[in-house]
Amino acid sequence: MVAKDFIYFDTDYLKSYVSQIDKGLLRARVGEEEHSRQEQSARHGEQIKTKASGDGSLGVLKAGYERERTHEYGEYAKTVTETGRQLLEYELHDDMYDVFFNHASEQGLFQKDTGNPSVGKYIELHGEYDLVDLDMYKELISDAFIAKAAALTDDDTKEIITILNTMALIIPTKAFLLIDKYIVPIKPQFLRESIKEIKFKYSGSIKLIGRVTAPFQKAETNLDPATSIVNATKALDSAINETLAQLGLINTRFILSPIALYF
């Protein structure tokens, strides 16, 4: 097995998924293992060492235990049988991905990338990508040396900054990934490396597992905002979609909520 180099890992989603299929996982898996031991009789002052060991498993988890105790007994002989419990706790991290992937595959929840994906299904992609961080680009374009190296005029710089500010108003996250016909919003708390590190260190193709959540809707026309509040909000939504279309972001694109990104 080749280890995956995860750069993005939505632990919240995976914990929720695994907890629903495996009867409860929030932070750790806890199971109970019963064991028993028997102590043989002994004379006064004699020591007996007892050892208890065993294995426990629950779902995807396995654990073992072993302990040794020394006891001193009195004048009379006795036999003691003790039944106890041991809690087996295992914190799940990257292995949650395999639990999710195997279960979703067995349930037929993955779809092939046919060009018209079904909303709500999972998809696995592998290909060239563009990773965009609006804040990073605004910072870069404000640097005179970089602007000069890119042969940008003052008017070019102002226009690009305006576009970046407009996108920041519309798109719910400051970072997103473009791959094939999908826009993939990135939640920064699930990144394992910064955008700058990723863009500097990696190139080529990326592998992505995610869920198709919605297609971008085309802008509606002939709406009178003064007619009702519903039409007013629809008109604003249409203006947003038209703006994104002019920026080249929504042509035949779908929104894909990422679960894991790795190289």
Regions of the chain with pLDDT less than 50: 26-91
Task: Name the region of 167 (left: φ>0; alpha: ψ -120 to 50; beta: rest).
Answer: alpha
Where exactly are the structural domains of the chain? Answer: 28-91, 95-262
Instruction: Report the pLDDT value the prediction gives residue 191, as an integer from 0 to 100.
Output: 94
User: In the chain, what are the helix, strand and coil shares in percent, each to the nearest 5?
Assistant: 30, 35, 30
Say if residues 60 and 97 touch (Cβ distance below 8 Å): no
Rounded to 5°, angle at Cα 180 from 166 and 110: 115
Say if residues 207 and 3 touch (Cβ distance below 8 Å): no
Q: Which residues are CB-contacts of 195 (< 8 A; sequence separation ≥ 6)?
A: 131, 133, 136, 175
Instruction: Report the pLDDT value the prediction gives residue 212, as an integer from 0 to 100.
Output: 94
Going from the C-alpha of 130 to that of each of 116, 152, 176, 260, the distances in angstroms are 21, 21, 8, 16
Instruction: Report the pLDDT value the prediction gives residue 115, as an integer from 0 to 100.
Output: 74
Q: Where are the beta strands (DSSP E) in 40-166?
A: 47-58, 61-72, 80-91, 110-111, 122-128, 130-133
For the packed helices 134-141 and 154-170, what is the interaxial angle rounded to 10 degrees? 160
Say if residues 31 and 61 touch (Cβ distance below 8 Å): yes
Q: Going by DSSP bridges, is the β-strand pair 175-179/182-186 parallel, antiparallel, or unpaired?
A: antiparallel
Instruction: Report the pLDDT value the prediction gives residue 238, as an integer from 0 to 100.
Output: 73
Say if residues 231 and 225 touch (Cβ distance below 8 Å): yes
| H-helix or E-strand spanning residue 235 | helix 229-246
Instruction: Report the pLDDT value the prediction gives residue 58, as an integer from 0 to 100.
Output: 39
Cα(125)–Cα(114) distance, integer angstroms: 11
